[in-house]
Amino acid sequence: PVIRREDYKAPDWLVPEIALDFRLDAERTEVTARLYVERNGDHDRPLVLDGEELDLLFASVDGDPVEVAPEGGRLILPLDGAKHVVETRVAIAPARNSQLMGLYASGGLLCTQCEAEGFRRITFFPDRPDILSRYAVRMEADKTLYPVLLSNGDPVANGEAGEGRHWAQWNDPFPKPCYLFALVAGDLACNADSFTTMSGREVRLGIWVREEDLPATRHAMAALRNSMAWDERVYGREYDLDVFNIVAVSDFNFGAMENKGLNIFNSRYILVDPDTATDLDYDAVEGVVAHEYFHNWSGNRVTCRDWFQLSLKEGLTVYRDQCFSADMGSEPVKRIEDVRLLRAGQFPEDAGPLAHPVRPESYMEISNFYTATVYNKGAEVIRMMAQILGPEGFRKGTDLYFARHDGQAVTCEDFVRAMEEGGGVDLTQFRLWYSQAGTPRVAATMIHDPEHRRVTLTLSQSIPDTPGQANKKPMVLPLRTALFDRQSGQRREERLLMLTGAEQSFTFEGMTSAPVLSINRGFSAPVIVDAPRTQDELAFLSAHDDDPFARYEAMQQLMVNALTEGVASGELETGAVIEAIRTSATDPSLDDAFVAEAIRLPSEAYIGDQMLVVDPQGIHDAREAMQQAIGAALEPLWRDLHQRTARPAFSLEAGDKGARKLRNVVLSYIAASGAEDAAALAFAQFDGAHNMTERQGALGVLANGMSAERERALAAFYDRYHGNALVLDKWFQTQALACHPDTVEIVRALGRHSDFTLTNPNRVRSLYGAFAANQWAFHSGGAGEGYRLLADLILALDPINPQTAARMVPPLGRWRRFDVERGGRMRAELERIVAQPKLSRDVMEQASKSLAD
Ligand code: ARG
Ligand code: ZN
């Protein structure tokens, strides 16, 4: 059953109010729901309530019991009048809910995840985001097992219920869609704080975790307070309830969830301390806490009319959290990281069988559309609008958007219209970014006319065909561009070129000599640029471009050119890359974090993305050889930097974070150099580290090799941390990511390790998600062992957790990118998957679309 965007119809019935009563128990919870329903418009259609795996105990309409049985899960109730009160009581089994959608048990807690369609697994309800209701929630539970009872909104009353039980009542004054409903019951401790909003409202903040995890919540609390202040300052958005609670749970399908006033988090995005978390983990906590908090306006106060509009809240909120993190740390480095993520996750999606527009046209299972396209490309679309409108115009646009649509469920079109009116621009053609899939390609050619001292830059664009979409229209591509004078190193004025036609020329006057082109600076448009520049010109830009992103980009392009040519010809040219790296690594004007980004070789997967047919072995060999050449040629520099970046103690200060980042890159070059003491040096960093960033960095370097130190370090790491699930994930992940000839065998064995479990999504992702991202290991093995391993995992996981299983399918769906033999084996595994009789809709959609031609 395919759901189509064009089929949207307003709901037949509204539910302005709902009262929920939970008798909580892990084995059997009873849920009584009283729905105050109102006919919407002039029609005689029945009330249809969604339901899934609900055991119906009782139903009544206006107090009169009715005999009704679910049909295909749904309850269909013919009603005469305009308003009725419908009551149902159901039983559910949280302890047996391994899908982690609806109400489920996690580590002694009871918690919920409703987005997108989990509320129907809790009670019968029209489960769609355009039904906004006021919620009154009463819950009752055993006092010892569940001393803390939380839900959305404000706590209004609580008391004893007898027989060792107690109850609490929470009311949420803001009408909300049911996907934002949440409930948590458990034995939790609270990191309590408060925040005074700009209008003087006092908000009680709470981060709820297991008692022993309390100290690890401090960073998340700081991030929350910073997010609240930032949203006031930058967007004029103030928090609106008296309490804001966050709960960390260890079994969670995604990162976190923005339930009104009660955000629920995957514990990996809350709990950090120096001994167990890397700087990347710290940054992720800050970013995700901000993301969920920002949803209070971009998502909750203004929500989505239907799930095709998902990017309305996700693209905007990702853009907001990206800007927040940039403000809290280094803007250039944050941009580089975000672009790297986009290229690693979204570009391949946009170039493969699962490509879809930012606003999809159809789906079988909406959970499959929480994608890099909807989130990250969606954020780029917002960023381009912000660029086009300028800071003041963009703020006027968002002010208008929030004022006009507060309390409504709206569409991407409503957002764009607010941008147009607020910013005073015409975005008619720009809207194609929402409807056309595929990464646009821009080709640039530059002609210098010395006589007229004029440069003509000709840009042309093409949008590739994607499943169901061919012959696309030219889009609006805002390209920040500058020309550099080769002799003086001077930059001419930067221009924002708007490429709107299939081909356009732009002229630059007063150019005595042929300049060097710096284009798509700051990655102002999420496109692929083919600009003919020599290695020499790229080296020049990597040393002189004043836009940090463009500088990084020039270095990446320089490396990619050398590596892809090396793969094609078998002759690797290393000189230019080594010199450019030397220049950056010794430039005193650059900070360590930026240098670490700039001097790192592109990933094997990214190199593969630049090739017509991915050659995993050739890429691996060339990259290893390049790494070795850089390591050996600059060995004294690396040793010097490794010493200079050592710190006596841990701090989160930007300079120290940058030093740690650089130190790990430097260590990998020393290891690659082949120096005899390299493994000992890595082990010393591993063993002596006072923080997880350096410890895991060293472990990763050792895991690639075949040294005795490798086994010692892995064993020591396991011994020290096996009691901490989040750190144990790193142990699995590091081995799955290793460039080690036996990685397939190692991953297979780890899948049978006593600490491995299919019921915890973090654990599954840290082993198999990492393995599938390890291009060389996943695609090595002539008989396709890696593919079979992943397909076996998908089939074993599907009956337990279809959402997480479906997320493992896309790596197999990339079969067209590989040679016939590999491609055939990947396809064979997909065919084996779709042939499985009881496949979930989630996996079926991903696997069958991956096979379709
Ligand atoms: N809205 C959540 C977030 O981005 C993600 C929820 C994902 N849930 C799902 N079932 N796909 O912050
Ligand atoms: Zn989100």
- State how beta strands 3-4 and 64-65 pair: unpaired
| Res. 853 pLDDT band, cuts 50 70 90 | confident
Which structure tokens are listed for 202?
A: 């006092």
Q: Alpha helices, DSSP H only, in 153-268?
A: 218-235
Give the residue-averaged pLDDT of 393-410.
Answer: 99
Torsion of CA 552, 556, 558, 564, to 10 degrees: 180
**Nearby residues of 6 by Cβ (< 8 Å), 6 or more positions away:** 361
d(CA 86, CA 542): 67
Nearest CA to ligand 1 atom 5: 257
C-alpha to C-alpha distance for 573 and 625, rounded to whole angstroms = 10
Distances (CA, A) of 462 to 202, 474, 499, 502: 53, 7, 11, 7
Burial class for 234, CB neighbours closer than 10 Å (0-12, 13-18, 19+): middle
Q: What's the gap in Å between 257 CA and the centre of ligand 1?
A: 6
The token pair at 340 is: 């790297």
Surrounding ion ligand 2 within 5 Å at CB are: 314, 317
Q: Give 58's strand partners.
A: 89
Centre of ligand 2 from the C-alpha of residue 299, in Å:
8
Q: How far apart are the first and last CA of the chain?
A: 20
- CA pair distance 610, 560, nearest whole angstrom: 8
Q: Which amino acid is at 319?
A: Y
Atom of ligand 1 nearest to the CA of 118: 10
**pLDDT tens digits along 282-321:** 999 999 999 999 999 999 999 999 999 999 999 999 999 9
- Give the mean model confidence (pLDDT) for residues 582-597: 98
Atom of ligand 1 nearest to the CA of 116: 10
Q: Measured between alpha carbons, how far is 58 from 651 in angstroms, rounded to an integer?
A: 58
> Is the confidence at residue 781, as pLDDT, over 90?
no
CA distance 539 to 559: 10
CB atoms < 10 A from the CB of 189, how many? 16
- Whole-complex ipTM: 0.98
How many other CB atoms are there within 10 angstroms of residue 126's CB atom?
22
How many residues make up the chain in this entry? Answer: 853
SS3 labels along 717-768? HHHHHCCCHHHHHHHHHHHHHCCCCCHHHHHHHHCCCCCCCCCCHHHHHHHH
Alpha-carbon gap, residue 701 to 738, rounded angstroms:
8
Mean pLDDT in residue range 418-429: 98
pLDDT tens readout for residues 243-266: 999 999 999 999 999 999 999 999
Q: Is any ligand 1 atom within 6 A of the Cβ of residue 252?
A: no
| Closest ligand 1 atom to 299 CA | 1
Indicate whether residue 604 lines ligand 1 (CB < 6 A): no
Question: For residues 599 and 630, what is the distance between their CA atoms, to the nearest angstrom?
Answer: 10
Q: 52, 258, 292, 420: which is the annotated catalytic residue? A: 292
| Beta carbons of 683 and 712 less than 8 angstroms apart | yes
Measured in degrees and rounded to the nearest 5, phi and psi for residue 174 equal -90, 120
CA–centroid distance, residue 372 to ligand 1 (Å): 12
Q: Are 619 and 607 in contact (CB under 8 A)?
A: yes
Helix (H) or strand (E) holding 62: none
Q: Is the CB of 116 under 6 A from ligand 1?
A: yes
Contacts 24+ apart (CB under 8 A), 709-718: 709/679, 709/680, 709/682, 709/683, 710/679, 712/683, 713/682, 713/683, 713/686, 713/687, 716/686, 716/687, 717/686
Indicate whether residue 257 lines ligand 1 (CB < 6 A): yes
**Residue 783, pLDDT above cutoff 80:** yes
Mean pLDDT over 131-146 rounds to 98
φ, ψ for residue 465, nearest 5 deg:
-65, 145
Read off the pLDDT of residues 548-571 as tens digits, 9 standing for 90 and up.
Answer: 999 999 999 999 999 999 999 999
- Is it the case that residue 782 has pLDDT exceeding 90? no
Whether 321 and 294 have beta carbons less than 8 Å apart is answered as yes
Q: What is the mean pLDDT of residues 222-242?
A: 99
Each residue of 469-495: pLDDT tens digit?
999 999 999 999 999 999 998 999 899
Query: Are 597 and 336 within 8 A, CB to CB?
Result: yes
The partner residues of 505 in beta bridges, in order of sequence, read: 458
Give me the numbers of helices (H) and strands (E) for the chain, helices first please. 29, 30
Farthest CA pair distance, the chain:
95
Q: If pLDDT is split at 50, 70 and 90, which confidence band does 15 have?
A: very high
Encoding tokens for residue 676? Answer: 């005899």
What is the Cα–Cα distance from 131 to 465, expressed in whole angstroms?
Answer: 36
- What contacts 663, CB < 8 A, 6 or more positions away? 641, 642, 645, 646, 685, 694, 697
pLDDT > 80? residue 629: yes
Per-residue pLDDT, 210 = 98
User: Could you give the CA distance from residue 802 to residue 782 in angstroms, rounded to a whole number?
Assistant: 29
CA atoms within 13 A on the CB side of 505: 9
Cα-Cα-Cα-Cα dihedral sign, residues 464, 465, 470, 476 = negative
SS3 282: helix
Q: Which of 131, 119, 147 is nearest to 51 (CA)?
A: 119
The answer to whether residue 292 is catalytic is: yes
Q: Is the C-beta atom of 314 inside 6 A of ligand 1?
A: yes
pLDDT above 90: percentage of residues in the chain: 99
Place of tokens 């609240």: 228
| Index of the ligand 1 atom closest to the CA of residue 295 | 12
Write the residue with the smallest CA distance to atom 1 of ligand 1.
257
CA angle 343, 345, 350 (to 5 degrees): 80
Q: Half-sphere exposure of residue 328, counting CA atoms within 13 Å on the CB side?
A: 25
Q: Is 686 in the pocket of ligand 1 (CB under 6 A)?
A: no
**DSSP assignment of 337-397, as one string?**
HHHHHIIIIIHHHHTSTT---SS-SEES-GGGG-SHIIIIIHHHHHHHHHHHHHHHHHHHH
Is pTM beyond 0.95? Reply is yes
Backbone angles phi, psi at 493, to 5 degrees: -55, 140
Q: Which segment of 630-634, 647-651, 825-829, 849-853 scores lowest on mean pLDDT? A: 849-853
The answer to whether 74 and 48 are in contact (CB under 8 A) is: yes
Please indicate whether residue 842, judged by its CB atom, sits closer than 6 Å to ligand 1.
Answer: no
Mean of per-residue pLDDT scores for the chain: 98
Sign (positive or negative) of CA dihedral 551, 552, 553, 558 = positive
Please name which of 282, 278, 271 lies closest in space to residue 725, comparing C-alpha atoms: 271
Measured in Å, residue 256 CA sits from the centre of ligand 1 at 7
> Does pLDDT of 836 surpass 90?
yes
Query: For residue 316, what are its two tokens?
Result: 């905007």
Pairing of strands 102-106, 133-142: unpaired
DSSP conformation class of 125: B
Average pLDDT over residues 170-189: 98
How many other C-beta atoms can be found within 10 angstroms of the C-beta atom of residue 54? 23
Distances (CA, A) of 491 to 342, 542, 591: 28, 14, 22
Distance of CA 372 to the CA centre of its chain: 7
Which ligand has the minimum distance to the alpha carbon of residue 257? 1
Whether the Cβ atoms of residue 536 and residue 514 lie closer than 8 Å to each other: no
Which of 111, 114, 115, 291 is the pocket-test mutation for ligand 1 (most atoms within 8 Å of CB)? 115
Nearest to 150 by CA among 78, 244, 214, 12: 244
Which amino acid belongs to residue 502?
A
Query: What's the mean pLDDT in 836-844?
Result: 97
With CA atoms as reference, report the closest residue to 174 among 11, 399, 16. Answer: 16
Per-residue pLDDT, 352: 98
